[in-house]
Structure 1
Amino acid sequence: MEHTALVDVYDRLSSTSSNNEKRDVVAEAFAESDAHLWRLVVLVRGRLFPAHDRRELGVSSRLTLEAVLTATGAPEDEVRERWRQTGDLGDAAAWAVENGGQQTLFSETLTVGRVHDGLRELADFEGDGSQGRRVDALAGLVSVATPDEARYVVRTALGHMRVGVGEGTIRDAIAVAFLDGGDDAVSAVERAYQVTNDFAVVAETARDGGRDALAELDVELFRPIQSMLAEKAESLAEGLADAAADGRVRYEYKYDGIRIQVHVGGDDVRLFTRRLEDVTAQFPDVVRAMERGVTAENAIFDGELVGYTPETIAGDDRTPVVFQELSRRVKRESDVEATSREIPVVVHLFDCLYDGETLLDDPAAERYERLVAAFDSVEPEFDDGVAGLELATTATVSPDDPDPAAALYEEALERGHEGLMLKNPDATYQPGRRVGRLLKLKPTMEPLDVVVVRAKYSEGRRSELLGRLYLACYDAQSDELREVGRLSTGYTDDELRALTDRLESLATTRDGRLVEVDPEVVLEVEYEEIQSSTEYDSGYALRFPRFLGVREDLGPADADTLERVDSLFDAQ
C-alpha cells in the first residue's frame, strides 16, 4: 500500500468535523486495507505501539527538526518561522520538502510498510550515537516523501496527528468495517479492546472471525488492562444509595497512593501503573512481598500502592507520605533499593481480575472472595526490603444504616487518606470506564489532572521561570487536548524551577515569552469553581486553579476528560 493512499485518508479526516464522517472514512480504509490492516490501525492515530506497550520512539521536536533540515537542506530560520506560524512541525516539514535546497527522491515510492516499520525501529536504537541514528532514519523517510507525505511522517513521529481520531472513532470504525456497525457490534469491539489494549489485534480478529472470535479474546498475564475508574459521590447517603445491590454496599478506604496492577505467573511478578507502565524494577520490595504472600499460581490483582514514613511503616498507626514523595520511586532508575527504604510502601489489594480464569464478568462480591483466597498478608520488613501486602480496609454496610460507613470515612481522613470507595457488590469490572456502580467520596471539590500545553515566563522575581501554565483536558472523542485555564499559583520556587527545566526541554516553538510545549506533563490542580468561558477551546475555565503536584503516573491521554469537566460544571 502506497503511503499516498494513507495521506488521502488523513486529508479526508482533516476536512471534516463530523464524528460519523470520520468513522466512515476510517472504516472504509480498514475494509480495503487487506494485509496492511494492523499497520493502518495504529498509523491512523499516530500511536505505533499498543496501549500496553510503553516503548517510545525517542524523537523530540528538536531531533525531528534536525531530521527535516538534514533531508531537505531548507534554511533553518525559515523552517522555524513556519513552525512558529502554524504551531505544527509537520506543516513546516511539508514546506521544507517543497522549498528546500536539496532534491528529494520522489522516484522512490514511500509505502505504508516502510513508514510504519521505519518509525517503529526508532524505539530500538540504544547506546552511544542512538540520537544520531534516529535523525538519520527519520531524515531518510522525509527525503523520499512528497510534501504531504512529509507532513504526516513528522506528525506520526511526534504522535500529534491533528486529524481528530480518538479511541472511539477506531472502535466504531472496526464495528462498521467488519461487523454490522450496531450498538451490539460496538460493545463487542469495546469489550475486546478492554481485555487486549490492542486495536490492531481487535481489528484483525473482527475481520477474520467476526463477533464470535472477538468474544474469545481474553485477559492475558503480563498484558495489563486499563483500570476501572470511579465517579464521584456527592454525599455519603447518595453514594450508598447509588451503589447498593440487594441492600448491600461494600465500602473501603480510598488511599492516596499509586494505582497498581500486579501480575503473577509462577515465579514471575510484574507491576503496572494506571498508565500501563511497567514499574517492576522500581519496586523490588513489592516483588518480594508478592513472592511471599501470593498463593495462587497465576493472578492479576488491582490495588493501591501507598508510601508510609519509615518510622511508622511497621506499626498499626502508619503515616502516609504525600503523593509527590511517593512518585519519586516511579521514575527512579538508580539507588532503587536505597530509595525503597527511604519511602517504604504497603500494597493494599482490593480486587482480583484473574486467578487462572478471567473474573471481569463476575460480580464484585465474588471477585473479592477470590482475592481473599489468592494471597496471604505480608508484614512489611523494613530492614530486609520487603513491602507490606494486605487487603484494603473494607466492610459491607446497608444503605439504611450509614453510621459504620461514616465512621470509616472519618477514620480514613484522620489517618491521612482521601476518603471512601463505595462499590456495588454485583458490579462487573469494566476496564477504563467511569461507572456509577463504583463511586468515590472525598471531602472537597475533586482536583483535576490536566496537561500543560503552553507556558509563559512570569514577571518580576520569577521572570526567568515558566510560572504561567496553560492547562488542558483530554477530549477523548476527537483525541485532542482542550484548554481549560491558566495556572500561576501553588508551587514553591524549587517546584517551579523543576517544572521550568522540564518544560523548556519540551519546547516546540517560542513567541516572545510564550512557549509552546510537547504535551507530556500532567499536573494535579485544585480550583474554586468551573466557569463557562469563550477564552478557551474547551468552553470552560478553571477559576483560581492552584498547583498540587506533578502526576508522574499519568500521560496526556490519562488526564481528566472534557466530559468529566462538563459533568463537574453541571454538578456545581
Structure 2
Amino acid sequence: MQYADLVESYRRIDATASTDEKTAIVASVLEAATTDELERLLPLFRGKVTPAYEGADLGISSSLTLEAIRKATGVAESEIRTTWHETGDLGTAAAEAVANQTQQTLFSTDLTVESVFETLRDLLEYEGEGSQQRRIDAVAKLLSNAEPEEARYVVRTVLGHLRIGIGEGTIRDAIAQAALDGSDEATDAVEYAYQLTNDYPLVARTARESGVNGLRDLEIELFRPLQVMLADSADSVEDGIDAVATSDGPLLAEYKYDGVRVQIHKDGDEVRAFTRRLEEITEQFPDVVESVRTRVAADSCVLEGEIVGYDPDTGALTPFQELSTRITREHDIEAAAEETPVVVYLFDLLSLEGESLLEESLDERLARLDSVLEPEEWAIEPTQHVRFDPADPELARELYADALAAGHEGLMCKNLEVPYQPGRRVGYMLKVKPTMEPLDVVVTRGKYSEGRRKGKLGRLYLACRDTEHDELNEVGRLATGYTDEQLAALTDALEPLITETDGRDVNVRPEVVLEVEYEEIQSSPTYDSGYALRFPRFVRRREELSVSDVDTLERVEALFEAQ
C-alpha cells in the first residue's frame, strides 16, 4: 500500500469532527488491506509502531528531527525553525521545507506503508556510538523521498504527535465494522480482546480469520499485560457496600494503598512488572522481582498488587512523590532500592500455571493466591483486609479508620463473587476515600508565565471526564503549589504534547494527569463542566494514571452537592 494513500486517509480524518465519519474512513482502509498490511496500518493510525506495553521510544527528539529535515531538503535550519515557531508543528515545517527544498534526490522512490513502518521500527534497534546520526539519516531518507503532505505525517509520527483524533474507541469500532458485522456483539468482542491483549493488530487479524468466537478464545499471554479492572468511587463505606453487594454473601474490604499499582508476570526465573499504564518497570524494581521469584511458589503466573515505599527504620510510609522517582530512574538502581525500599502488597491472581483465572470469582482467585504466596514482612505480603457481612459493616468501618490512621489513601470494597473484567469499571469494586479528597485531573491547555517563571507553563487548565458524552470538561485553572523544579518538570512533560500555539497560550494533548487540592467546588459558567475548583493547588503528578483514570464529572458533581 502506498504511504500517500494512508496520508490521504489521515487528511480526510483530520478534516471531520464526526467520530462516525472517522470510524468509517478507518474501516474502509482496513477492509481493503491485506492481513500483513493490518499489522502496520493499525499502529500507524495511532501514530505508533509498537504496542503500548513495549514502551518503545524511537529515540529521536525534535532537535534531531529538525536536523533530518535540514539534511533531506537543504533548507536552512533558521527557516525551518521559523515555520515551526509560527505553527507550533514541526510536521508543517517539514512539509513546507520539502515543498521548497533546495536539493533533489537523484534516485527517489515512492514511500510505502511498509517502508515507513519498517524504517521507524528499525530506529528502536539503533544503540551505542553513532546511533543518533543513524536515526537522523534514516528519517532524512524517508523525507527525501516524501511529498510535502507525506513529510508532514512522517514527522508527526516520528515525534508521536499525529494529531488526527483517532482514539482506541475509533479503532475498536473500525475493526468491528471492517472484519465483522459492526454489531454491538462484535464491538464488545473486539473491545474485550483488546483489553486482554493490548494489541490491535492481533485483534484485527483474529477477528478477520476467526470471527467473534476467535476473539473470545484469546487468552492471557505471559509478558503481554492486560488492562486492569478499574474501580469506581464511593463517598462512604456504606455507599460502597450498597454499590458492590449483589447478594447476602460476604464482601471484602482492604487497604487502598498510596503506591504504584503493578501487574507482575512470572515464568520460571523470569519476572517482569508493568504499571497500570502498561509501562514496564522491571529494571527499576529488582527488589520486587526477587521477592516474586523467591516467595511465589508457581512456575508461571500473573499477579496484581501495589508497590508501596517505606522507611525501614520507622516503618513510616514513603511519600508517593519519592517512590515515583524510582519509576523513571535509569541509573544507580541498586542505590535507589536501598534509599527507598518497597513492599509489594498482592491482591489478585489472574493466571496460574498457564490457566486463566479471569472467569473465576475473586474468592477463588484469592484462595489460589494464598496457596502460592509465601509472605515475607516488608517485602511481599497480601493486602491488609477483612471479610464482612454487608448487613453489619462495622469491620469495614474499623479497617477504613485503621487505613487512614496508617497513612493509606482509604479503603477498597469488593464483591467476592464476580470474575475479573479487564479495563472496565463494573461496579463490583469501589474505592472509598475521605470526602473533599484531592481530585485527579488532566491538563488540556496552558499558558506560559512571565517574570521569574518566564518560559515555564505556569498556568494549567484542568479537566475531568464526562463519561456520558465521552469528552473532557474543564474545571479550573492551576497556578500554585509547585516548586520551580516541579514546574520545570511539568513544562518538560507538556511541551512535547503541544498541539496549538497562540502567543503564550497553548493547547496540549490530554495526557499529563495531576492530583490537585482545592478549598471548595463552585458552580461556574466559565468552564464547560459548569464547575470550578476554588484555589486549586498542585499536589503531585500522577504518572501512573492515564486520561481514562481521571475523576469524572459525576464525581465533581457529587462532591459539590456534599459540601
Structure 1 length-normalised TM: 0.89
Structure 1 residues 531, 266: CA separation in 2 closer, same or farther (over 3 Å shift)?
Answer: farther
Matched, 1:86 2:77: no
Q: Distance in 1 between matches of 2:507 and 2:20?
A: 31
Deviations 1:230-266 (A, max 9, x none): 1111222111111113223211000001101111111
- Report the residue type matching 1:110 in the other structure: L
Q: Secondary structure at the match of 1:448?
A: strand
Look up the match of 2:440: 448
Deviations, residues 491-549 of structure 1 (Å, cap 9, x unaligned): 2344335545666788899876567778765432233437555667x887544321111
* Residue of structure 2 in register with 1:359 after alignment: 357
Corresponding position of 1:315: none
Residue type of the partner of 1:155? R
Distance 1:240 1:480, change over 3 A: closer
**Cα separation, 2, equivalents of 1:479 and 1:102:** 47
CA distance in 2, matches of 1:149, 1:479: 31
Distance 1:482 1:141, change over 3 A: farther
Question: Could you say what secondary structure the match of 2:377 adopts?
Answer: coil
In structure 2, what is the equivalent of residue 383 of structure 1? none
Measured at CA, do residues 463 and 93 of structure 1 come closer, stay the same or move farther in structure 2, by a change above 3 Å? Answer: closer
The aligned counterpart of 1:553 is 544
Structure 1 position 397 matched with structure 2 position 399:
no
Mapped to 2, the partners of 1:7 and 1:500 lie a distance apart of 31
Alignment partner for residue 567 of structure 1, among 541, 554, 557?
554
Partners of 2:71 and 2:465 in 1: CA distance: 34
* Distance across 2 between alignment mates of 1:371 and 1:220: 18
* 8 Å CA contact retained: 1:165, 1:477: no
Instruction: Establish whether residue 346 from structure 1 lines up as the match of residue 348 from structure 2.
Output: no
Q: Secondary structure at the match of 2:283?
A: helix
Rounded to whole Å, the distance in 2 between the matches of 1:138 and 1:474 is 37
The residue that corresponds to 1:276 in the other structure is 278
Out of 300, 303, 306, the residue aligned to residue 304 of structure 1 is: 306
Matched, 1:432 2:423: yes
Aligned residue for 1:124, secondary structure, equals coil
Instruction: Please state whether the residue corresponding to 1:181 is helix, strand or coil.
Output: coil
Correspondence for 2:316: 319
Larger mean Cα displacement after TM superposition, 100-109 or 232-241: 100-109
Q: 1:130 to 1:441 in 2, by over 3 A?
A: same
- Map 1:465-504 → 2, pairs under 5 A: 466-471=457-462, 485-499=476-490
**Contact kept in structure 2, 1:167 and 1:479, CA below 8 Å:** no
SS at match of 1:180: coil
Q: How many percent identity over aligned positions?
A: 52
- Structure 2 match to 1:258: 260
Q: Matches of 1:116 and 1:474 in 2, distance apart?
A: 33
How far apart, in 2, do the equivalents of 1:252 and 1:109 lie? 59
SS state at 1:221 partner: coil
1:280-322 Cα distance to aligned partner (Å, 9 max, x none): 222222122112210122111110011111213xxxxx32111
Displacement of 1:50 in angstroms is 0.8
1:434 offset after TM fit, Å?
2.3
Q: Give 1:52 shift.
A: 1.5
Which secondary structure state, in structure 2, belongs to the residue aligned with residue 330 of structure 1?
Answer: helix
CA positional deviation for 1:470: 4.2
CA offsets, 1:136-191, max 9 Å, x none? 21111111111111111111112222221110111111111111111111111111
2:401 aligned residue? 410
**Counterparts of 1:376 and 1:40 in 2: how far apart (Å)?**
46
Matched residue type, 1:118: T
Mapped pair 1:195 → 2:223: no
Alpha-carbon spacing, 1:479–1:237, altered in 2? closer, same or farther (3 Å):
closer
* Aligned AA (2:553): D
Give the deviation of 1:455 after TM superposition: 4.5
Q: Secondary structure at the match of 1:223?
A: coil
1:352 Cα deviation from its structure 2 partner:
0.6
Distance between the aligned counterparts of 2:63 and 2:499, measured in 1? 7
> In structure 1, how many angstroms separate the alpha carbons of the residues matched to 2:237 and 2:437?
14
Cα distance in 2 between the residues matched to 1:540 and 1:63: 43
Which residue of structure 2 lines up, in the alignment, with residue 384 of structure 1?
none
2:29 aligned with 1:29: yes
Aligned pair count reads: 554
Please tell me whether the aligned partners of residues 234 and 441 of structure 1 are also in contact (alpha carbons under 8 angstroms). Answer: yes
Contact 2:446 2:457 in 1 (8 A): no
Contact 1:472–1:482 (CA<8 Å) still a contact in 2? yes
| Whole-angstrom distance in 1 between the partners of 2:271 and 2:525 | 48
Higher mean C-alpha displacement, 58-67 vs 345-354? 58-67
In the TM superposition, 1:64-75 aligns within 5 A as 64-75=65-76
Which moved further from structure 2: 287-296 or 352-361?
287-296
Residue identity matched to 1:339: A
CA deviations on 1:77-126 (whole Å, 9 max, x unpaired) are 44333333333222222222112323367952110001111111112211
Deviations 1:451-495 (A, max 9, x none): 475451243x54575433344668999999876543211123443
Q: CA deviation at 1:271?
A: 1.3
For residue 559 of structure 1, what is the amino acid of its counterpart? V
SS in 1 for 2:38: helix
Residue identity opposite 1:445 in structure 2: E
RMSD: 2.9
2:370 to 350, 369, 372: 372
Q: Any conservation in 1 of the 2:310–2:341 contact (CA below 8 Å)?
A: yes
Secondary structure of 2:328 counterpart: coil
**For the Cα contact (< 8 Å) 2:510–2:547, is it kept in 1?**
no
Higher mean displacement: 405-414 or 520-529: 520-529
Structure 1 residues 290 and 246 mapped into 2: Cα distance closer, same or farther (>3 Å)? same
Give me the whole-angstrom Cα distance separating, in 2, the residues matched to 1:40 and 1:143.
Answer: 22
Name stretches of at least 5 consecutive residues in structure 1 with no aligned partner.
313-317, 381-387
Judged with a 3 Å threshold, the aligned counterparts in structure 2 of structure 1 residues 7 and 397 are, in CA distance, closer, same or farther, namely: same
Asked if structure 2 preserves the Cα contact closer than 8 Å seen for 1:330 and 1:552, the reply is no
Cα deviations by residue, 1:168-218 (Å, 9 ceiling, x for unpaired) = 111111111111111111111111112211001110111112122212211
1:361-414 CA-to-partner distances (Å, cap 9, x unmatched) read 22212111111112111134xxxxxxx111101112222212111111010000
- Residues 455 and 56 (structure 1), Cα distance of their counterparts in 2 relative to 1, 3 Å cut: farther
Relative to the length of structure 2, the TM-score reads: 0.90
Q: Is the 8 A contact 1:83 1:89 kept in 2?
A: yes
Specify the alignment match of 1:385 in structure 2: none
| Structure 2 letter corresponding to 1:341 | E
What secondary structure, in the 3-state scheme, does the structure 2 residue paired with 1:52 have?
Answer: helix
Partner amino acid, structure 2, of 1:45: R
Q: Secondary structure at the match of 1:43?
A: helix
